[in-house]
Structure 1
Amino acid sequence: MLPTASRRVNRRCFRGGGGDHPWSPNTGWWVAVKAVFQGLIMAGGKGTRLSHGLEKPLTEIAGRAMIQYPLSALGDSKLVSDVHVAVSRFTSKTEEYVRKMGVKVIRTPGAGYVEDVKSAAGNVGLCSMIVLGADLPLIDGEAVDEVLNHYSKACKHALTVVSPLKDVLKIGLRPSCLIKHRGGTYVPCGVNVLDTGCMDEPFIEQEVMVTRDLRMMVNVNTRSDLAVAERLLLSRGSTQGRLTGGQREVGG
């Protein structure tokens, strides 16, 4: 989740991969009608909580390297034009793996999530970008497009996806990062959208999308998380990828 504040920035920041978007006189924002987004997968972290001698993005789950799932999701999205993977000195094997697949690779300092996102965004250039963790094994193209459509309608500079803590605990995950939002406790899902042209602004208005969708809620950080994710992946035909109650979205 990128640092934000709730004050509107008075500059045109919203751009898409396909060029400028129409100006909306009602909102004072550039509005994306059929925006084409860049996709970025963050795969440069140390992954120490999943320590087993293998880089976290290459950890096998249900017969595939974990990074394959977000790669497939971005590839299947109807709104993402290009896919990039951010690596660091901590994930040299992951870099080698994705380069062999022909995926665009960006080297980052490995200094932390926010710092590495900024570094990667600087390499991609001005665009609207969805950022996924490499540890989202249930994510798919449909879920990606749901997030991007929400972002476009919100007309804010950034969006972060979170899930209610009680629902995350219900499926057996034990998150280490929690945030407060409108009086509730939530878990960041590792799914963010941002306008790279606004990353250096002192104030950025951010939309918060709350979801109970397993495709975004399952984020693997520990070995127990890995077991939960594999169980859900293997049974997703019967669970249909969601908890009862479906998806709920809340504005920031």
Structure 2
Amino acid sequence: MDVLIMAGGKGTRLNLDIEKPLLQILKKPMIDYIIESLLNSKINNIYIAVSKNTQKSKCYIYNKYIDHIKNNKIKLLETEGLGYINDLNQCMKHFSEPFMVLCCDIPSITPKIINNVIDEYYRLKANFNNLESLCVVVKKEDYLGSPSVVMDEYVPQGINILSPKNGEQVEKLYIIEEPILNVNTLEEKSIVERIIKNCYNNR
């Protein structure tokens, strides 16, 4: 399965003069945590959607992963940067099979979580032939930050598997317990840094 990282947004909620993918989490750009976890997972190709809003991120990713180490698994896609749905729809043409979509602001994601999501999708697909997408969520009471989107009693984690088609898709939820949150505030940045520290300390 391939993956698409959405990294073309303005990241205005952080209110910082830095592109969101390059936000330093424990002295390391946030996008690095995600790419490194993907490279150590079952994922095949890594597509990263950038835009006019994230040209510094584009240069950083190209210089570090594509030009320097010649990693042909990582590919940059240029989008208009007009919003998540618009940019996602522009990227659909690059996929012919179900693919994972990740937000660029979930640095506490791990290879284990990524692999579990892939396995759960194929397990459900075997039982529900019409399944087209999977949305990874956590129970609202277990979410560690301030959710910007709530679906009934669940908070989406910025992790989805989609079929390569526009419009609504037949979807199921996958509830996880791992401590993941989207970094949209400085408070959430501090929380996710504690999560990552604990993760490394427990290895």
2:174 corresponding residue in structure 1:
209
CA distance in 1, matches of 2:197, 2:136: 24
1:109 corresponding residue in structure 2:
80
1:149 corresponding residue in structure 2:
119
In structure 2, the residue corresponding to 1:95 is in which secondary structure?
helix
Percent identity (aligned): 31
Residue 191 in 1 paired to residue 181 in 2? no
Equivalent of 1:200 in 142, 166, 174:
166
What is the CA-CA distance between 1:131 and the residue it aligns to? Answer: 0.8
CA distance in 2, matches of 1:145, 1:178: 25
Q: How is 1:199-238 mapped onto 2 (pairs within 5 angstroms)?
A: 199-200=165-166, 203-214=168-179, 217-237=180-200
TM-score by length of 2: 0.88
CA distance in 2, matches of 1:142, 1:236: 12
Q: How is 1:97-176 mapped onto 2 (pairs within 5 angstroms)?
A: 97-100=60-63, 101-102=65-66, 103-122=74-93, 124-155=94-125, 156-168=131-143, 171=144, 173-176=145-148
Q: How is 1:53-132 mapped onto 2 (pairs within 5 angstroms)?
A: 53-78=17-42, 80-100=43-63, 101-102=65-66, 103-122=74-93, 124-132=94-102
Q: Which structure 2 segments of 5+ residues have no match?
A: 67-73, 126-130
CA distance in 1, matches of 2:24, 2:104: 12
What is the CA-CA distance between 1:98 and the residue it aligns to? Answer: 0.8
Deviations 1:119-138 (CA, angstroms, capped at 9, x unpaired) = 1122x131221111111111
CA distance in 1, matches of 2:200, 2:80: 39
Q: How is 1:28-47 mapped onto 2 (pairs within 5 angstroms)?
A: 37-47=1-11
CA distance in 2, matches of 1:167, 1:52: 27
In structure 1, the residue corresponding to 2:90 is in which secondary structure?
helix
> Quick one: which amino acid aligns to residue 66 of structure 1?
M
Q: What stretches of structure 1 move > 3 A for 4+ residues in a row? A: 237-240
> Quick one: which amino acid aligns to residue 114 of structure 1?
I
1:246 corresponding residue in structure 2:
none
What is the CA-CA distance between 1:236 and the residue it aligns to? Answer: 2.3
Deviations 1:111-161 (CA, angstroms, capped at 9, x unpaired) = 211221111122x13122111111111111111010011111111110010
What is the CA-CA distance between 1:51 and the residue it aligns to? Answer: 2.0
> Quick one: which amino acid aligns to residue 174 of structure 1?
S
> Quick one: which amino acid aligns to residue 19 of structure 2?
E
> Quick one: which amino acid aligns to residue 157 of structure 1?
E
TM-score by length of 1: 0.72
CA distance in 1, matches of 2:104, 2:190: 16
Q: Which structure 1 segments of 5+ residues have no match?
A: 1-36, 241-252
- Structure whose alpha-carbon radius of gyration is higher: 1
In structure 2, the residue corresponding to 1:96 is in which secondary structure?
helix
Alignment coverage as a number of residue pairs: 190
Deviations 1:199-237 (CA, angstroms, capped at 9, x unpaired) = 235x521011111111xx221111111011112211224
Superposition CA RMSD, Å: 1.5
